[in-house]
Each structure stands twice: as C-alpha cells, then as structure tokens.
Amino acid sequence: MPRGLTFEQIGVTEAMIASYADAIWRLSNNVQIRRGDPVRLLELDRVDAERADLGMSDAQIAAVLGLTRDQVLAIRVLTEVRRFRRRNYHRLYELGRGSRFRADRYVPLEARGGFRADALALREALRFDPKEVRRFVEAGWWGNDTLAGWIAARAAEAPQRAAIRGPDGDLGYGELARRAERFAVGLHRLGIGRGDVVSVQLPNVPEFLVAYLGIARIGAVMSTAHVPYRAAELRTLLAHSRARALVCLSRNKDHEPAAAALALPSLEHVIALGDPVPGTRSFAEVLASAGDLPDDLAPAPADPFLLLYTSGTSANPKAVPLTQQATLGNARMGAPEHRITAADVVLSAAPYSHLFGLYSFHLAAGVGATNLLLPAFTPPDFAQAVAAGRPTVLFVGPAHLAALLKIGLLDATDLSSVRLVIASGSACPPELARAVAARLPNGRFTQLWGMTETQAGLYTRPDDPIEVAALTAGRPSPGTEARVVGPDGAGLEPGEEGELQVRGSLMFPGYFDNAEANADAFTADGWFRTGDLAARDAGGNFRITGRSKDLINRGGVKYNPRDVEDLLDAHPDVMQAAVVPVPDPVLGERACCVIVPRSERSPGLEELCAYLLERGVARYKLPERLELVAEMPLTPTRKIIKSRLVARIARSA
Amino acid sequence: MSEAAAREARPGADPAAIKAQIVEYCKRKGALAVGVADLEAIDRVAPPGHRPGDILPNVRSVISLGVGGQTQGAWTVPTKAFAYFGSTEGRAYSIAYGCSFFIESRFRARAIYCPPDMDPEGGARIPLQSLKLHAELAGIGARSLAGDILLHPEFGYMYYASVFTELELPPDRPLATNPCPAPSCVDMYRKTGQTPCMKFCPVQCLSGTIDERGRQAEMRYEMAKCAELTQQYEAVPEVLAEALAAGDAAARERTLFDPDASLLWYKMSVGSGGLLAQCFECMRVCPIATRAPLADPIRRAQAADRKD
C-alpha cells in the first residue's frame, strides 16, 4: 500500500491514536528490551519469540494489533512527535571535558528558576535611550560592575582587610563575602530569586551589609525602609515594591517591627534580627545556610538591584530602580574624584537606608576601604565613633554637623584622623561649612549634591578652595551632565538662577509603577527635572539656591507630608490641613502643621501628634509646630498654596 | 552476475579468495574490520521490507566493514562540540561505495553500497537496513548495554557500512564473545546497580542487568529518549506548532526566533551535521569504546610501533 495517504484516507482518528499510541510505542523500536545476546549467539528462534520486546516493524505491529500498516505508521510517527521533548537537548551543553551528567543533580530547564512577573515588571521599568546606552558603555561609565563581583575581588585581594569595623570588632572582606554568600543561599532556599524584591529595615549594623550583599549576590533587589517607619508606611511601600521578604529588627526601642510585619499581607517571609519572634525566621537561621548557589543566579551589571523610595509612604509612592552598573559606576568613578583609597576608614552618619549612606559603602567596597559603622546617629555616639574608630572620611549631613557644633562636640572631638568630609542631604550653610573646615587639622570639607534619582550628581573636590566647598555643591560627577534652565527650558548663563536639570549614566530610568510621577520627571530631550533651584558660577560649580518641590527636609531626611496631611484632614476637629517646612537652625527644616479648625474647638499639637502616632505615622514626620488659620490660600483649582503659608509663618515669626 | 560468472572472469578465483581480495581492498582503504554476514540469518532477524533482498533482489552476500570511530582527542571535547562529529562516518560509506565499484570492476558481479539512510516509507526513525545487524552477523561487533551500540574487543567503537553483492561469499561467524560489559563495568554494576553508560546518560535512556557470570542479562533502551538529544528533526514541527499556538505576535516571534530556534533554522538551511548528531556520552564513559587496544589512532600507532 503506498504511503502518503491522509489520515482520513487510512481511517486514523484521534480516538484511535488515544487507544493505540501506547501499545504501538511499546512494540516499536522506541522501547527496546533485549535479553541475553540472541543475535550474536544465533538463537534466532529466541529472536522471533522476543520480537515484541526487541522492537517490531510497523507491519509486524499492525499484525499484532489488528491495524493496517499505514495506521500504525501514522499513529507511531505522530506519537513520536507529540512525545518529543525538544528542550532536553540542552542537557548536552553542560557535559564533556570531564563533566558528566548526574541524574541526581540535574535540574531540568523548566524547573529552573526564572523571573517572576513582579520582577519582570520591575525590569520593564528599566528603559534607557539606546543612543545614551551606547554612549555610557563606550565612555566606560557603565562597566562590568556588580556588587558581588566587587566583594569577591576584595575578598580575593585582601581577605583579612577590615571591611566592617563595628561594635564587635573588625570583619574582614573574606568573612564578609562568606557571610553574604551564606545569606544568599538562605534567601535562595526561601525561594527568593533574581529580580525579587527584598526590603531591608535595619540600622547601620553589619547585618545590614550582609543582607544587602546577600540580596545582590542572587540578583535580587534590595528596597530599603527607614528604621523609623511603622506599619502604616511599610504597608504602602511593601505593597508597591511587591517585596517578598522583609529583613528587620525583632525589637527597636518600644516597637516590635518583625511582629508587626507579620500582619502585612504582601510579605512571604519576615527575617528578624534579634530575639526570636514567632512566625518569623531569624537572621541567624538564614545566615547559617550552607551550599552552593546555581550559576544562573549570578547577577548581571544591567540588573536592577536597588529600589529606593523617595516619597509617598501613604499614596503615590515614588520608587527609584537603580541598576548595578549605574550605581556602582557612580562609586567606581567617584572614588578617585574623592580620593578615597583602600587605606581609608569611612564613617557614614547617614543611614544605609538612604542612597547617600549606601554611596559611602559603595565607595569603600570599590576600593577595599573599611566601613566604620554607626548604627544610628546621635551627636555623642558619632563623636565616640570618631574618637574610637579614627575614620579618615566622614559622610555627614549639614544637620549632623550643626548638631555636633551646637553642643560643642566638634571642638571636643579629635578630628585629626579625618582627611575628608563629604556633606550632603541639604545645602550646607556657608558658615557651617567654614566652621567645620576650620576644625579639620588634616582634612578638607566638601559638599555633595544628589538625589536618589540622580545619585551623586555634583560635588566639590578635595582640592577645591573652602569658598567653593562652602558656597556650592561643586561640579558634575563623572557620567553626569548638569544644566540650569529658565521657565522656558532654555539654558541660563552663569549666575542666573533656574531649575537644575541633570542627565547621564547615573540617572534613574524613571519611577517604578508611577506613570503620573514619570510624566513630569523628564524633559522631552531626557533631562531630569530635579525640582531644585540652582545657579552655575563661572568655574562650573553649581550653587543650590532653593527647592521648588514641597518635600520637607528634616536634617537631611526628606519626606513628603502628604500622608500626614491626609490623616489630619480626617481628624474630626480639622477642616483642612497642610504641613509645610519652617526653617530650623539645626535640622534645616521642621514641619509645621497649619489647620483650619472645624469648629471653635481647636485641637492642640500634642493631641494631633498622639492622633497621628495612633495611626502608625513615624515620629520624625510628626509636626513640631501648629498654626491655626481661618482659611487656606487656594489656587483656582483648590490646591493649597503652600508657599503663602510658609511666608505667613515666616512673617509671624 | 553469479559466482560462476565471477569465477569465469577471474579463472581460478574461488569465493574465499575473492572475499580475501575484498577484505584486503577495504582494509587498504581504511577499514579496521571487514566481514561477511550470513544472509539467511539477516533475513530471519530483519523484518520484511528491511532485508537485503528488498533492495538488491539477487543479493547473495552482505559485506560489513567498520572504520575507526573517534580520535582520542575527540573524547575530550565538550559534548556540544562532540555532537558535530556526526552520527555517520563518511569514510565508511566511501569505502563501501568504492568496494562496490571494486567488486563490479574486478569480479563482474553486481554490487551496491547499502543506503545508510531512513526508509522513506517508514518515517524518520526507521532505517532502510540495519547496518548494525549486518556488522554483528559479520562478526565485527557485538551489542552493548549502551542501546545495542556495537563494540569490538580490539577496535572499540566503530562506524559501519555495508555492501550488497550478487557474489556469493563465505559468511563469517559473529564474535565468539561479547566485550560488553567490561570487567570494570561489572564491578560498578555490582556496587551501584548501574554501568557507566547507564549512570551518565543525559536522558537516562539506558538500564539493564548483568548476570552472575558478568554477562548481559537484559538491555533496556528507550530510543525515543535518546533521540531527544540527537534527532532534532522533530523539533522543527514542534517549534512551528508552538508558533501557531502563540498568543500574540511578540510571543510568536520569540518562539520562532529565540536562540535555539534560530540555530535550528541555521542547521536546516546549511544541512549541518549537528542537526542529527550523537551525544556520545555513553561511549565517552565506555572503557571498551575509549580504551580498547586499538580504539583510536594513537593506540593503533603505538601498537604498530610495538609490532615493529
């Protein structure tokens, strides 16, 4: 019978295929069972007897099953195609050269981890201009930088060199790398994979860095939560970031973050540092994990590895995704500019939950310097850390310096080890800058301007005269371009004040999952609108002159008071509320609450603060002054004109 | 043409002498082993439609020859490269092809080299003829636990080709002993229940048992699993089916043109040997295939040196 007939012509139906596929498969050569050695021994009768096991031709199978040869052929071939697993071929890629297949170790491709939908959504947010990408790579601004690669290199170069100097002594780069690897294994065992977000809410303790490095080691993304945040803020941020795990303290003063986090619906794992907390995993337990990580968990420089929030703890969160190559490139190129070397001991007064704090760590890790840890800033603790740890580089905010100066600790502390101060977080009053510089017998004062969105975009260099460092934020960092534009978007001449706009290889690609914020963030030609006002001098240094946005900058901690306003608006005795900054000689700004009372009964400041605390608002966001007004100044679209409130308060003061 | 005709063409030449000339020709051209299979036995084992007479109606003899399988260096390369070393060996076919010309020109008897490909009527996995069966009955290889791949006690792993002729040649006997399993494999089997070929097969298509005397008791081979590593023709329709089922244009594009699929199209378009290739992992770990006394050119050269 000629081949080539259709299934309809030979009478093969899906029902027949279902009925006979297995039998044909078993009788055909697809499965062969031979007993003894009958052909070689010419035991041909035995061959005939065992032909069903040895494998039959289609005609022989047809005779056994009562089908036609064409039917057997059609069903067999179709079954072979249907059962064929194309991707098994990939098993060959890992074999040879002494590497053998081990069934007990092999993980099929389909069972290997991939990016979850949430992780892919985050990666989707990484959209860069192709021309710019090419420029960044060609210029060397984006390179082969990964945090895991850096730490591995430092561990290989000098495993005993102190990476961390903390209350419990030194931790070498080698041991830090080992702990990070173990923590990474522990996270992997919890099911955390590439692109997954892990939130970290810890002070500047060694475990913060271990967690950070462990997260980065497996290509996951760290999202930080500031230590003062309570459940109200965490709920919003963790839901927005899609964090699968939170690393936090068991107890923080009067608060129990780990226990509180268990109530957050989006979290799968809470890893508690400190005393055991039922329902959570202990940090030590995760750190005790042993084993190897799969090769496919190795991070790539273009991976997002940080998701940092700039505002919006109650609504409309603004989350900044940062890639390893952009972020670490900032530090790689910044270290020679700041003249930071492996011999330095770096102390950050800023928390690692801020990018400024992380920048200090990145700089140190990039060159193999030591990180002197200060868990939380207080002037006495900072002075003690300087005295005991003898840091060479200080990362501080002007508010930190002002506090130290005000209570005399700057004078009382031996600053002879300090060769460099990098101040950032807010514009440093020139008098403060000069005062600090005057107290550095062997050091230089510098200023740095940056935002989470832009990273360290401007800074003065150690060799700059003090007047440059006192009056300006310096010049663009490698990879950054900056300009000052007028209201019409045109570039301004030196000395003219306008909006500071920046772009370059350090720039974030846009806010994650916030189209509204992204709509206004960039100009059509790709410049980021910082919202800060600045003027450029003839030497190319930028002076920050003000801020066009409403963030309150309390000692370098910037936050949007909208969530507080929303809660106040809901207070039974409040008709309308606004929170605006008022100048403060120490912190730079403090929050002033302006309310229109609902009735003659006006709530007091203490009552309002208690009300906010009850609703989970962090203490640092509590208003510190109360002003009562009969009515708010409003725009035609009923928005409160905060600048008028600020001016009114200033007048009343 | 009959044996008588051949004798007439070469007066005095008897079948044994003709066979000796044919064997000498094949070895001179590079064959390591040559034998003549018992046609009657072939016809008993091969199913109808796959017997020599189905191709050459008046066939009287089936000559099987084997050439060296791999160089010693080949066993050291990564599998992804090894796959391109091919499942077929052009040298074996060219010797067989030349042998058929030799027979016709020297002995005036019809001869063909056996088509080494699939049966167009049988689908993609059914060969026209079993070269393995010819070689086994010709005594130049014995079935191994590695999916019946033939092994030779001296030459290890070889590639085979067959010549059909109307000359009547005296058949050889199959090998008296089967080199598989090697003593070291028996030891491993006693300890672990597996031989190296079973343990290291990437798709675990091999299993079997060894009797108390160290002989093969049962060989189990799932050819379909093996084919997943070596026969990518079935990947082509699968890719196309996935593309047809794709939900949108982007998914369809990824299915058709992801790196794997792109390589598949490349292999098809250039007729790459890697499209249909062996993975060789069972042979790579086989002590007979890799360490038989004359298994590779280095060993053969060393043996020749010793002989000198």
Q: Cβ(B39)–Cβ(B61) under 8 Å?
A: yes
* Residue A636 confidence class, pLDDT cut points 50, 70, 90: very low
Contact call for A86 and B218, based on CB within 8 A: no
Option in B123, B229, B239 nearest A89 (CB): B229
What average pLDDT does range A102-122 have in this prediction? 88
What is the interface pTM, i.e. ipTM, of the complex?
A: 0.93
**What does the pLDDT average to over A140-166?**
97
Reported confidence tier of residue A637, pLDDT bands at 50, 70, 90: very low
- Give the pLDDT score at A98: 86
Segment A145-151 shows an average pLDDT of 97
Residue of B nearest to A101 (CA): B200
Write out chain A residues lying below 8 Å of B45, CB-based.
39, 44, 47
Judged against a pLDDT cut of 80, whether residue A1 lies above it is answered with no
pLDDT tier at A634, thresholds 50, 70, 90:
low
- Give residue A480's pLDDT: 97
pLDDT at A249: 98
- Based on its alpha-carbon atoms, the radius of gyration of chain A, rounded to whole angstroms, reads 32
Among A31, A57, A89, beta carbon nearest to B222: A31
Distance of alpha carbon A270 from alpha carbon A245, whole angstroms: 6
What pLDDT sits at residue A598? 82
Give a three-class secondary structure readout of A118-148.
HHHHHHHCCCCCHHHHHHHHHHCCCCCCCHH
Question: Which residues, including other chains, have CB under 8 Å from residue A19's CB and lie 6 or more apart?
Answer: none
Q: Which residues of A touch B229 (CB under 8 A)?
A: 88-89, 91-92
pLDDT-based confidence at residue A576 (cuts at 50, 70, 90): confident
Tokens of A354: 């801020």
> Does the beta-carbon distance from B44 to A47 stay under 8 Å?
yes
> Is B202 close to A58, i.e. CB distance below 8 A?
no
Residue bearing the bigger pLDDT, A96 or B230: A96
* Facing residue for B203 by CB, picked from A30, A80, A91: A91
Model pLDDT for residues A421-458, shown as the tens digit of each residue: 999 987 787 888 999 999 999 999 999 999 999 999 99
Q: State pLDDT tens for residues A473-519.
A: 999 999 999 999 988 899 999 999 889 999 999 999 999 999 999 98
Least CB–CB distance from A95: residue in B79, B199, B221: B79
Q: Which pLDDT belongs to residue A532?
A: 85
Question: For a pLDDT cut of 70, what percent of chain A falls above it?
Answer: 96
Contact A236, A314 (CB under 8 A): yes
Q: What is the mean pLDDT of residues B84-96?
A: 79
Instruction: Look at B122 and A96 and tell me if their CB atoms are within 8 Å.
Output: no
Asked if A36 and B216 come within 8 Å (Cβ–Cβ), the reply is yes
Domain ranges of chain A: 7-84, 147-536, 552-652
Per-residue model confidence as pLDDT tens digits over B163-184: 999 999 999 999 999 999 999 9
Q: What count of Cα atoms within 13 Å lies in the side-chain half-sphere of residue A182?
A: 15
Give B81's contacts in chain A (Cβ within 8 Å): 96
Q: Which residues of A touch B281 (CB under 8 A)?
A: 92, 95, 100-101
CA dihedral A482, A485, A489, A493 (to 10 degrees): -110
Sign, CA torsion B293/B295/B298/B300 = positive
Give the count of Cβ contacts less than 8 A between chain A and B: 159
Measure in Å the smallest separation between the Cα of A68 and chain B Cα atoms: 13
Q: Note the CATH number of domain A147-536.
A: 3.40.50.12780
Interface probe with A: pick from B212, B238, B240, most Cβ of A within 10 Å: B238
Instruction: Please state, in angstroms and rounded to a whole number, the distance separating the CA atoms of residues A119 and A220.
Output: 9
CA distance B216 to chain A (A): 6
DSSP conformational letter for A266: T
State chain A's mean pLDDT as an integer: 92
- Determine how many CB atoms are found less than 10 A away from the CB of residue B20: 13
pLDDT at B9 over 70: no
Q: How far is CA B276 from the centre of its chain?
A: 14
For residue A22, give how far its alpha carbon lies from the nearest alpha carbon of chain B (Å).
13
Pairing of strands A245-249, A197-201: parallel
Specify the pLDDT at position B180: 98
- Comparing alpha-carbon positions, the chain A residue that sits nearest to B47 is A57
Predicted confidence at residue A187, as pLDDT, reads 97
Establish how many alpha carbons lie within 13 A of residue B67's alpha carbon, considering only the half-sphere containing its beta carbon.
19
SS3 string, A364-430, reads: HHHHCCEEECCCCCCHHHHHHHHHHHCCCEEEECHHHHHHHHHCCHHHHCCCCCCCEEEECCCCCCH
Q: Which residues of A touch B216 (CB under 8 A)?
A: 34, 36-37
Average of pLDDT values for B202-221?
A: 97
Q: Is the pLDDT assigned to residue A347 strictly greater than 90?
A: yes
Is the CB of A29 less than 8 angstroms away from the CB of B235? no
Question: What is the Cα gyration radius of chain B?
Answer: 21
Max mean pLDDT among A401-405, B141-145, B269-273 falls in B141-145
Residues of A with CB below 8 A from B206's CB?
none
Indicate the pLDDT class of residue A560, thresholds 50, 70 and 90: low
- What are the phi and psi torsion angles at A354 (to 5°)? -100, 150
Q: What's residue A244's pLDDT?
A: 97
pLDDT in tens, B229-287: 877 788 888 899 999 999 999 999 999 999 889 988 998 888 877 777 778 899 999 99
- Closest B-chain CA to A89: B229
Percent of chain B predicted with pLDDT > 90: 75
Contact flag B78-A95 (C-beta cutoff 8 Å): yes
Within 8 A by CB and 6+ apart from B129, the residues are B46, B50, B51, B52, B55, B114, B115, B162
The answer to whether A179 and A215 have CB atoms below 8 angstroms apart is no
The encoded tokens of residue A535 equal 């003027």
Give the length of chain A. Answer: 653
Calpha distance A48→A58 (Å, rounded): 16
Question: B83-115: string of b/e by CB count within 10 Å (b at 16+)?
Answer: bebeebbebbbebbbbbbebbbebbbbbbbbbe
The overall average pLDDT reported for chain B is 91
The pLDDT assigned to B307 comes to 84
Separation between Cα atoms, residue A589 and residue A469, nearest integer Å: 22
Residue A287's closest CA among A175, A212, A183? A183
Bridge partners for A162 per DSSP: A172
Is B13 a residue whose pLDDT tops 80?
Answer: no
Among chain A residues, the shortest Cα distance to B236 is held by: A86
Give the fold, CATH level 3, of A552-652. Answer: GMP Synthetase; Chain A, domain 3 (3.30.300)
Tens digit of each residue's pLDDT (9 = 90 or more) over A237-256: 999 999 999 999 999 988 89
pLDDT confidence of residue A315 = 66
Quickly state the pLDDT bin for A588 (edges 50, 70, 90). Answer: confident
Distance from CA of A25 to the nearest CA of B (A): 9
A41-75 tens-digit pLDDT: 999 999 999 999 999 999 999 999 999 999 999 99
Mutate to test the interface with B, among A25, A27, A34 (most CBs of B within 10 A): A34
- CA-based nearest distance B201→chain A, Å: 7
Out of A33, A39, A96, the one facing B45 most closely (by C-beta) is A39
In a 10 Å sphere around its CB, with 0-12 CB exposed, 13-18 middle and 19+ buried, how is residue A465 labelled?
exposed
Q: What is the mean pLDDT of residues B106-119?
A: 93
Q: Using a CB-CB distance cutoff of 8 angstroms, which residues of chain B are in contact with residue A59?
A: 47-49
> A7 vs chain B: nearest CA distance in angstroms?
15
Cβ–Cβ under 8 Å, residues A355 and A450? yes
- Taking CA atoms, what residue in A is nearest to B242? A86
Other beta carbons within 10 angstroms of residue A571's beta carbon come to: 18
CB contact at 8 A, A495 and A521 = no
Q: Determine the pLDDT at residue A545.
A: 74
DSSP-derived 3-state class of residue B280 = coil
3-class state of residue B221 by DSSP: strand
Task: State the amino acid at position A637 in one-letter form.
Answer: T
Return the sign of the alpha-carbon dihedral for residues A394, A179, A247, A384. negative
Instruction: Label the pairing between strands A444-451 and A455-459.
Output: antiparallel
* A485 neighbors A492 (Cβ within 8 angstroms): yes
**Out of B77, B143, B200, whose CB is closest to A34?**
B143
**Does the distance separating the beta carbons of A89 and B228 come in below 8 Å?**
yes
Q: What is the pLDDT of residues A124-144, one digit of tens each?
A: 999 888 999 999 999 999 999
Task: List the single residue in A with minimal CA-CA distance to B174.
Answer: A40
The identity of residue B118, as a single letter, is M
The answer to whether the CB of B141 falls within 8 A of the CB of B162 is: no
- Which of the pair, A562 or A313, is modelled with greater confidence? A562
Residue B138 is predicted with a pLDDT of 98
In Å, the largest CA–CA distance within chain A is 114
- At A548, list the tokens: 């066009």
For A95, name the nearest residue in chain B, comparing CA atoms only: B79
Q: Name the residue in chain A with its Cα closest to that of B274.
A: A89
